[in-house]
Amino acid sequence: MDDDETIIRQALKEDLGSGDKTTDALIPVDLYGRARIYSKEPFIMAGIDIAKKTFQILDPAIEFRKFCEDGVHTDKGQCLAEVSGRVASLLKAERTALNFLQHLSGIATLTRRFVEAVKSYPVKILDTRKTTPGLRVLEKYAVRVGGGFNHRMGTYDGILIKDNHIAACGGIAEAVKRGKASAPHYMRVEVEVGSLEEVEEALESGADAILLDNMAPESIEAAVSLAEGKADLEASGGITLDTVETFAKTGIHGISIGALTHSVRAVDISMEIAI
């Protein structure tokens, strides 16, 4: 509903505070004009509607005409959107709108590269909870735009027993047992393991899904055989664009990548005004 709006308002507030002193000093209130938003490198677009909302929350009278949709590949120099209205409003919203667009498109672009790298395999590229504080919903949206799949939105919508939970419970078997006893009937129980022995322990204790953390491709392959038809398997831990295909080849069902959201390179986008 209005989560995007809250984030956008905060971002505008953070940039405009008690007023844009430059724009207020230079630009007549009744000057109207038009600006175009351009890509300055090729990327996968994500966030075009967030950019639109940013302009229109600042000034509902701004018209925003988009020339492409989220998910498309854009070339360098392509015009992505045209905004028109009060010039002072265009200038006030510019930086915030571009900050969203650059960050979210950065995520979608990186995700798409991972997705492309494993496209011959029936494996899902997944994100993690390693997101930028405050932006999780938007960042996970950008992952989907890039062709990835979302892992848990938070700790509230899935059971994932991690190493620290296991340490606190005293072992995988006990942790999974507790999980299966308490998990609501509409949720699976996933558990994180680090070795083939632990995979076996997880399977025996009845885990529905297993996250293989920092395991080598060969071990993962073995785990896939063990778990066949019994549990969903997911690999994670330092997997890069260079290594992702090797992991995909193991037959694993999902590969989760923290870098999709925690180490984003913004793409380059600019706005040019034309009176």
The CA distance from 97 to 53, in Å, is 8
Beta pairing class for 32-39 and 79-86: antiparallel
Residue 75 beta carbon to a copy of itself: minimum distance, rounded to whole angstroms: 19
The CA distance from 53 to 230, in Å, is 45
Nearer residue to a copy of itself within complex by CB, 46 or 218: 46
Told to judge if 95 belongs to the known catalytic residues of this protein, a careful annotator would answer yes
Nearer residue to a copy of itself within complex by CB, 218 or 260: 260
Cα 110 to the center of its chain, rounded Å: 10
Residue 219 beta carbon to a copy of itself: minimum distance, rounded to whole angstroms: 20
- The residues that bridge with 160 in the sheet, in sequence order, are 190
Told to judge if 41 belongs to the known catalytic residues of this protein, a careful annotator would answer no
Nearer residue to a copy of itself within complex by CB, 164 or 225: 164
Told to judge if 162 belongs to the known catalytic residues of this protein, a careful annotator would answer yes
Catalytic choice (36, 66, 162, 180)? 162
Catalytic choice (95, 144, 188, 230)? 95
Told to judge if 130 belongs to the known catalytic residues of this protein, a careful annotator would answer yes
Amino acid at 239: I
Nearer residue to a copy of itself within complex by CB, 53 or 218: 53
* Nearest CA-CA partner of 269 in 15, 41, 34, 12: 41
Residue 149 beta carbon to a copy of itself: minimum distance, rounded to whole angstroms: 7
Told to judge if 76 belongs to the known catalytic residues of this protein, a careful annotator would answer no
**Residue that the structure tokens 């392959």 belong to:** 221
The CA distance from 192 to 234, in Å, is 9
Residue 42 CB neighbours (<10 A) = 13
Residue 171 beta carbon to a copy of itself: minimum distance, rounded to whole angstroms: 12
Catalytic choice (20, 70, 190, 192)? 192
- The residues that are catalytic are 95, 130, 162, 192, 213
